[in-house]
Amino acid sequence: MPIRHLTADAVRAAEHAAGDLLANGTLMRRASRGVASVVIEELRRTGGCYGRRVGIVVGAGDNGGDALYAGAVLARRGVACVALLLAPEKAHAGGLEGFRRAGGHVVGDLPDALDVVIDGVVGIGGRGPLRPAAAAVFGALTPPEDGGPIIVAVDLPSGVDADTGEVHDPAVRADITVTFGVRRNVHLLAAPQCGRVRLVDIGIDTTGAAEADTLWTLTDAEVGRMWPVPGPADDKYSQGVVGVIAGSARYPGAAILASGAAVAATSGMTRFIGSAAEEVVSHHPEVVAVHTHADAGRVQAWAVGPGMGTDDDALALLRDILATDLPVLVDADGLTMVAAHPDLVADRAAPTLLTPHAGEFARLAGSEVGPDRLTAVRELAHRWQVTVLLKGRITLIADPTGAVLGNDAGASWASTAGAGDVLSGMAGSLLAAGLSPQLAGAAAARAHAHAAVLAARGAPIGASDLLAAVRPAIRELRGVDAS
């Protein structure tokens, strides 16, 4: 099953639906034991629990209560626990009493040489940056890589918005985030700020949450299962024929990268149209390359735009492609022309996938993406009735209904010139193989990110390195042993 992420309101509704489990404190006790278990696991990984030192930064409300109860569990396991109360008069009374009874101590300042610091400042209801007192506490901590404590956030890092993932300044940057029942939007949208996310089952039912408010991510196994591979009765045509329009004889790089990625991603046929035909065939002899659209032959989907130019001839060609009833992916120069001529995609009945980076998105939407990327991509997809893939470390793919699939690349190795051309070729080939624009974009984004990690291995890469790693990445996603 895809991984589900919910808004703060949907999580609250699920908690309230738990009835007595919420009212009698059962959910809080389960949550606190989950936090304590994750901290214990971390301490054991680095030498054991007894005598280790944990500091808890406590705000008002239930988030601080979760942290205090977790501290009580830790104290009973022999961990030396101290709590810094940012608002003593508003600290969770039951949690504070349990913490003290278990042997925990309240302090005015966090001591040095802590092994773990638990962020229990604010939960999913928090808004805006850390207040000065909390900012001073976390700002004084030495990073873990320099010998400082591991930071474990309860539910989400304080100072990060639960629904939009906006990282305010200042905000906590967690090494581990422990959350409960279901992941929140923030755990994808602000994944670098959350660190490793650990999900604890506390017995709430989220199946009734509104689908319109749901953000999903595909697992590697799901992407592997949906990836098109040839069956016993397949031939080159039945597997999908993608047409690529990219680059030029003067600037052939985009053409070579996009065509090569289409070839690597599926086993059907890749046709290329453009003045870089000879250069493309010299790099990828299996591509059927011609100079003009009239000579292209039959295709089942188009990937157009990277490096194709924006002159009158390019605009006329793009208009012809978008006038067909075939799925079309539009990127780069193609997006520049669509931004200037929205009528190109207005009322288009056939599947359309736009793949902008933030700057291209601003030209399409007429405004900057802003901190709420999720709402921005949903609104553009709905307004234009197309599927929009907003690129980034966290890629978001929204269809016209408002459904969104996300992908965390896990790193930014793919932030290199030409990487977008590779993504266009991959996603275009998946469109030709029959995947919907949203699934084609999401699957391509996951394989693209995986290829970047495989290619980099800790060192910077170029787009050619990324392209070379596409097939190994697909193999790993499919669980195929290449040895």
* DSSP state letters, 69-93: HHHHHHHHTT-EEEEEESSGGGS-H
Q: Distance from CA of residue 94 to its chain's centroid?
A: 37
Answer yes or no: is 95 a known binding residue. Answer: no
Answer yes or no: is 124 a known binding residue. Answer: yes
Answer yes or no: is 90 a known binding residue. Answer: no
Answer yes or no: is 65 a known binding residue. Answer: yes
Beta strands in 355-420 (DSSP E): 387-390, 394-398, 404-408
Which helix (H) or strand (E) covers residue 335, if one does? helix 333-340
Query: Tokens at residue 23, please?
Result: 């009212």
CA separation for the pair 272, 426 (Å, rounded): 14
Answer yes or no: is 62 a known binding residue. Answer: yes
Helix/strand/coil for 270: strand
Answer yes or no: is 123 a known binding residue. Answer: yes
CA separation for the pair 330, 304 (Å, rounded): 5
Answer yes or no: is 394 a known binding residue. Answer: yes
Answer yes or no: is 128 a known binding residue. Answer: yes
Answer yes or no: is 325 a known binding residue. Answer: no
Answer yes or no: is 63 a known binding residue. Answer: yes
Across 221-253, b (16+ Cβ under 10 Å) vs e yields ebbbebbbeeeeeeeeeebbbbbbbbbbeebbb
45-51 own/partner pairs: CB under 8 Å, 24+ apart: 46/115, 49/74, 49/77, 49/78, 49/79, 50/77, 50/78, 50/79, 51/78, 51/79, 51/80
Beta strands in 148-210 (DSSP E): 150-154, 176-180, 183-184, 196-200
Length of the chain measured in residues: 483
Query: Tokens at residue 158, please?
Result: 């304080």
CB 386 within 8 A of CB 353: yes
Answer yes or no: is 217 a known binding residue. Answer: no
CA separation for the pair 89, 141 (Å, rounded): 25
Answer yes or no: is 392 a known binding residue. Answer: yes
Answer yes or no: is 66 a known binding residue. Answer: yes
Answer yes or no: is 421 a known binding residue. Answer: yes
Answer yes or no: is 131 a known binding residue. Answer: no
DSSP-derived secondary structure letter, 120: E
Answer yes or no: is 185 a known binding residue. Answer: no
Answer yes or no: is 307 a known binding residue. Answer: yes
Answer yes or no: is 402 a known binding residue. Answer: no
Beta strands in 294-386 (DSSP E): 301-304, 328-330, 352-354
Answer yes or no: is 119 a known binding residue. Answer: yes
Answer yes or no: is 104 a known binding residue. Answer: no
Answer yes or no: is 198 a known binding residue. Answer: no
**Residues paired with residue 273 on neighbouring β-strands, in sequence order:** 245, 290
Q: Which segments are annotated as binding site for AMP?
A: 391-395, 420
Q: Which segments are annotated as binding site?
A: 62-66, 119, 123-129, 155, 158, 254, 307, 357, 391-395, 420-421
Q: Which segments are annotated as binding site for (6S)-NADPHX?
A: 62-66, 123-129, 155, 254, 307, 357, 421
Q: Which segments are annotated as binding site for K(+)?
A: 63, 119, 158
